[in-house]
Amino acid sequence: MRLTAQQIETLRQKSAQHFGANTHIWLFGSRTDDSKKGGDIDLLIEPGLHDPTAIIDAKLALLRDLHQTLGEQKIDIVIRRTDSNHELPIHRIAYTTGIQLA
């Protein structure tokens, strides 16, 4: 995995701060492969929130905080609500190839 311990802790803390303590996070994509270089940070987040407006507000606030803390880099956040039975192919990819951070 190509994230430092400090970056992982920042992702955990900021996600819990904005989405709630019961939030789960997966890192997926090229950052999970130590043999690759560069790449954006791809995250799947299962929020502790259920209100759609609150989830959107939390996502925007999290992106703002991560850019301030980790620096300007490409960060993609995919949301999967735990109260939804709808699963997209990107969700399956994150669950099967990703690394759960929280």
In this structure, which topology does domain 5-82 adopt according to CATH? Beta Polymerase; domain 2 (3.30.460)
**How far is 91 from 94, CA to CA, in rounded Å?**
5
Delimit the domains of the chain by residue range.
5-82
**How far is 41 from 1, CA to CA, in rounded Å?**
11
Q: So what's the pLDDT on residue 34?
A: 87
Residues lower than pLDDT 50 in the chain: none
**How far is 63 from 68, CA to CA, in rounded Å?**
9
Q: So what's the pLDDT on residue 39?
A: 85
Q: So what's the pLDDT on residue 46?
A: 97
Give one DSSP letter per residue of 28-69, joined into a string: ESGGG-TT-----EEEEEE-S---HHHHHHHHHHHHHHHHHH
Tell me which residue of 64, 75, 87 sits closest to 30, measured CA to CA. 75
18: CB partners within 8 A, 6+ apart: 58, 59, 61, 62, 65
Q: So what's the pLDDT on residue 37?
A: 82
**How far is 41 from 27, CA to CA, in rounded Å?**
7
